[in-house]
Amino acid sequence: MSIRILTVLAVVLPVLAACGFGEPDFARGMAAYEKGDYATALKDFEPLAKKGDARAIFQISTMMAEGKGMKANQAQAAKLRYNAAEKGHREAQYSLAKMFLAGQGVKTDKVLAVHFMRMAAKQNDARAQMELAEILLKGKGPKRDTAEAAEWYRKAAEGGNVEATFKMGELYAEGIGVNWDYVEAAAWYRKAAEKNHLTAQYNYALLLEKGQGAGRDPAMAAQWYRKAAERGHAGAQFKVGQAHANGEGVPKDSVKAVAWFRKAALAGHGGARTELGQHYASGDGVAKDEVQAFMWYSLATIVGDKTAIRKQEELRERMSEEQVSKAQSLTWQRLEAEKIN
User: Which letter does DSSP use for residue 231 in this model?
Assistant: T
Class of domain 88-159: mainly alpha
Which of 8-17, 22-31, 77-86, 229-238 has the weakest average pLDDT? 8-17
Among candidates 245, 228, 246, which has minimal Cα distance to 237?
A: 228
pLDDT of 144-177, one tens digit each? Answer: 999 999 999 999 999 999 999 999 999 999 999 9
pLDDT tens digits for range 3-59:
555 555 555 444 444 434 468 899 999 999 999 999 999 999 999 999 999 999 999
108-137: pLDDT as tens digits: 999 999 999 999 999 999 999 999 999 999
Orientation of helix 270-282 relative to helix 306-316, angle to 10°: 30
CA distance 183 to 312: 41
Q: Evaluate whether 204 touches 222 at the Cβ level (below 8 Å).
A: no
- pTM of model > 0.95: no
In this predicted structure, the answer to whether residue 257 has a pLDDT above a threshold of 80 is yes
pLDDT by residue (tens digit) across 288-337?
999 999 999 999 999 888 999 999 999 999 999 999 999 999 999 999 98
The distance of Cα 15 from the centroid of its chain, to the nearest Å, equals 46
Predicted confidence at residue 341, as pLDDT, reads 56
Q: Which residues contact 70 (CB under 8 A, 6 or more apart)?
A: 12, 13, 38, 42, 63, 64
Q: Are 241 and 261 in contact (CB under 8 A)?
A: yes
If you average pLDDT over residues 206-216, what whole number do you get?
A: 93
Rounded alpha-carbon distances, angstroms, from residue 143 to 8, 131, 146: 34, 15, 10
**Burial of 122 by CB count in 10 Å (0-12 exposed, 13-18 middle, 19+ buried)?**
middle
Which part of the chain is CATH 1.25.40.10? 88-159
Could you give the 3-state DSSP secondary structure of residue 331?
Answer: helix
